[in-house]
Amino acid sequence: MPLLQLIYASRPFGYDDLTLGGILNTARINNARDGITGALICREDLFLQMLEGPKPHVEALFDRIARDDRHAEMVKLWSAENGTRMFPDWAMKHDPARSWMWTAAEVSAGVIAKVTPDEVHGVFVRLAQEPAPTCPASRSN
């Protein structure tokens, strides 16, 4: 079964720590079941997520997320069939948006509509290259 990697962005609706915790807990359970790995970069004005796994499972998950009312202005930014996972040990890695990413002003000004597929893919390449945490229990992050 082909491995699909897909990156999307959306604007969170009703974002708070409780909502984020629910999203991450559900994602980790369902993604482990469906063979999906990936990373979620989030803050109050941006969800940026890479999903990777069997193509039918990733496409079905993307469709479910698109119907989820916690996401607004969702857009697929990049996808490719690939044989290698970037986040093989993470049912869903969570990272807050990094300082080297776009500012809130840039997001508000529409940077997501202007970013190239290679640029957005590069965000996850950089994230995947960061050292793994020293505590194995933190892999649920």
Q: What is the mean pLDDT of residues 23-33?
A: 87
What is the spatial distance between Cα 56 and Cα 18, in angstroms, rounded to a whole number? 29
Q: Which pLDDT value is given to residue 134? A: 41
Q: Which pLDDT value is given to residue 59? A: 96
Residue 20 has pLDDT above 90, yes or no: no
> How much of the chain, in percent, has pLDDT values that exceed 70?
85
- Please report, in angstroms and rounded to a whole number, the separation of the first and last CA atoms in the chain: 27
Q: Taking the CA atoms of 33, 28, 116 and 129 in sequence, report the sign of the dihedral they define.
A: negative
Residue 92 has pLDDT above 70, yes or no: no
Residue 133 has pLDDT above 60, yes or no: no
Domains of the chain, by residue range, sit at 3-140
pTM assigned to the model = 0.84
Fold of 3-140: Alpha-Beta Plaits (3.30.70)
Q: What is the mean pLDDT of residues 1-16?
A: 88
Q: What is the mean pLDDT of residues 38-61?
A: 91
